[in-house]
Structure 1
């Protein structure tokens, strides 16, 4: 696909002019990006999913209270997708029966009968317990893709915990001590949440490990049970100790309370959730210009690359905000929530680990798109779907193996080699046990002076710290 070309179509100092033009062109927000110079919003045709040839987009840029709108391509609705849902065998059968002249009543009875033959008949807790007991034993080592239930609790609809996984999926714990957790909803008629857990490789790709059907995602006991199950089950599969060192999740208090089960693990907070929650509280800052400055400060703080720098930078930032009484309410919220309760959302809180939970959240979307078809399923149909889902994940993990080292293409290696030939190696300085300082292509500060500032931690204000930090980029 060719690169996009953008043409300026409108420039104004009034945001209302931009909004009016956007409404006239039948578009919706596609992507929002924040830069130091301002904000960029990309819009695409609201019917682009129905009409795949439509590449029409608008891009709005805001900088110094000036708004500029760019346009790319034009609307093309000449071709429409036949269907936006996945193909279903049931729909094909119904279509065939309709072509044969069968009545609606006959078709309904035939479909109902076929479902009774294929679905598991689970109508009570006893039936659910029988299903769990059927899969309770771990399969032999030659049955990597067979699902099993390492642990379950099924007392009533308010007390359910059913962990389902496969040997092949758990075998990836051999290469990673990271655990990512997220819950998705509207899966079953009973409104039972689905807890999905997994890990990420050195290319920051998400790999599912299994799922749990649970009665609630608010209680700490749910996550404590998951941690205990993994600590007892995984070593039997990988034939080596398994210690979870990092848990990536959203701000669920139940997960935070359950971390007592993993005393040596760090509870990471998804950066995307942090900035989203901060924006939800922007009403605490009355002036737009002050909010934009606050948001910029938070973005710069997120880029800090180790713990002691974060502590220093956070203190300087709070000191800066304290000087402005208009920021008191937001400052107290930010300090309590994101510096005291859930502080590990910056880049340096975990090396070589994604700073967001976007991978698993995107995966949850695929569950609804490809398996449940965005329908709430009966318990029997969900368990049947879960079997197929886990089997597919297990097979897919063979085709996309776990990356145990960072991969890069040949072009990047060639450019790195050329850059290395031009580099003044006397400017490369040792910073820590496994880290070095390398001068940027347009250095704003000598590397020796930069390292001296790093060790002395001598900044007097947050802006001084940011200037020092940005000089290395």
Structure 2
């Protein structure tokens, strides 16, 4: 049988330089070479490097280099092959360095999507990497530029300590209040944290406000946790935030922390404590109870109009007569224009008298349901439903 094993090429090594220590020798290699393997001999340790332009698993570039760490001294000699680089004859793995630099520049200029980057590279006549290559490169570049996506509680606590002092710039943020709770603390089910950020200018707005708006938004999240927003609106319906909180939960204690942080912030900037007369929010008990725990005085509970309107529309859309549904919605919108509780109560009474079908429709539906239930369970009827054998009834109204 014929031996088809490829004959190993012999390399001719030429001494290129001698350095006094290993550090200088290794620095001189630059980014062209990648460590390949190591051999040991009587004269010292030989560390061989390969051309990094070639794939690790595959045909290697003919050029090579090795460092000889002399056994009898600290000197390091560099030996290089006679042959030059021939990696350009083969396909280079990964993205070209010039393309990498261009992608970084595009990302820093705000072009952050892979498809946008591909179009930009086309206009610059670069060799186009694949979509997956660009996507993977962006993941690594973001980690290098912005750091790890996952932040530990210890890192969060350290960041809070570093940013807790009030800046001389009234628009510079600072940590008004924070609380980090670990597993070993009492009454804590898992790690929890609460952080409230604001500025001097935003706290000054809070000091002259009488109505407080509070809610959580999942349109802005950090580490998977929603931002909790607190603020007020002016007569032009413009929202003015007091600050932003990140909490591990949305419970009463979390909103109590937020409302209390406002008071702490006002004390820090030497302003009178907030005495709100109204709370504007959705129907979440956690917001209402947290508000009561901080502001003991009586206040008006105002339902957020957009939340309320959305809930009403979800209910009246089931009314068959669309004209009646539209009229009912218009009347409810008129109720919302009431400028006092007294006017609202009077208008509500008139509304209920005008819309008797609100009650009558429910009574008709309820009567039909009960009637059908009764008929289906008549023992004399065909396929009668026997009570002990029937599953739970679903109320699909």
Q: Is the 8 A contact 1:176 1:201 kept in 2?
A: no
Larger radius of gyration: 2
Report the alpha carbon displacement of residue 311 of structure 1 after superposing the two structures with TM.
Answer: 1.5
TM-score, length of structure 1 as denominator length: 0.44
Match for residue 298 of structure 2 among 226, 240, 264: 264
1:197 matched to 2:230: yes
Report the alpha carbon displacement of residue 123 of structure 1 after superposing the two structures with TM.
Answer: 3.4
Partner of 2:154: 126
1:88 matched to 2:88: no
1:387-402 matched pairs, under 5 angstroms = none
Q: Distance in 1 between matches of 2:142 and 2:224?
A: 26
Report the alpha carbon displacement of residue 145 of structure 1 after superposing the two structures with TM.
Answer: 2.3
| Aligned-residue RMSD, C-alpha | 3.7
Greater shift, 219-228 or 231-240, is seen at 231-240
Report the alpha carbon displacement of residue 277 of structure 1 after superposing the two structures with TM.
Answer: 0.8
Partner of 1:207: 240
SS in 1 for 2:231: strand
Cα displacement string for residues 205-224 of structure 1 (whole angstroms, at most 9, x for unaligned residues): 2222211112233x222211
Q: Is the 8 A contact 1:179 1:199 kept in 2?
A: yes
Cα displacement string for residues 369-410 of structure 1 (whole angstroms, at most 9, x for unaligned residues): xxxxxxxxxxxxxxxxxxxxxxxxxxxxxxxxxxxxxxxxxx
Q: Distance in 2 between matches of 1:292 and 1:114?
A: 51
Query: Per chain length, whose mean CA-contact separation is higher, i.e. which structure has more relative contact order (CA < 8 Å, sep 6+)?
Result: 1
Q: Distance in 2 between matches of 1:267 and 1:182?
A: 14
Report the alpha carbon displacement of residue 168 of structure 1 after superposing the two structures with TM.
Answer: 2.0
SS in 2 for 1:326: helix
- Higher helix proportion (structure 1 or 2): 1
Provide structure 2 residue ranges, at least 5 long, that are not aligned to the other structure.
Answer: 1-106, 183-189, 365-397
1:247 matched to 2:279: yes
Match for residue 220 of structure 1 among 252, 258, 263: 252
Report the alpha carbon displacement of residue 236 of structure 1 after superposing the two structures with TM.
Answer: 2.9
Partner of 1:74: none
1:96-135 matched pairs, under 5 angstroms = 112-113=140-141, 115-119=143-147, 123-135=151-163
Cα displacement string for residues 118-166 of structure 1 (whole angstroms, at most 9, x for unaligned residues): 4377532211211122212333xx2222211111223367623211111
Report the alpha carbon displacement of residue 281 of structure 1 after superposing the two structures with TM.
Answer: 0.7
Partner of 2:50: none
TM-score, length of structure 2 as denominator length: 0.52
1:135-154 matched pairs, under 5 angstroms = 135-139=163-167, 142-154=168-180
Q: Is the 8 A contact 1:197 1:208 kept in 2?
A: yes
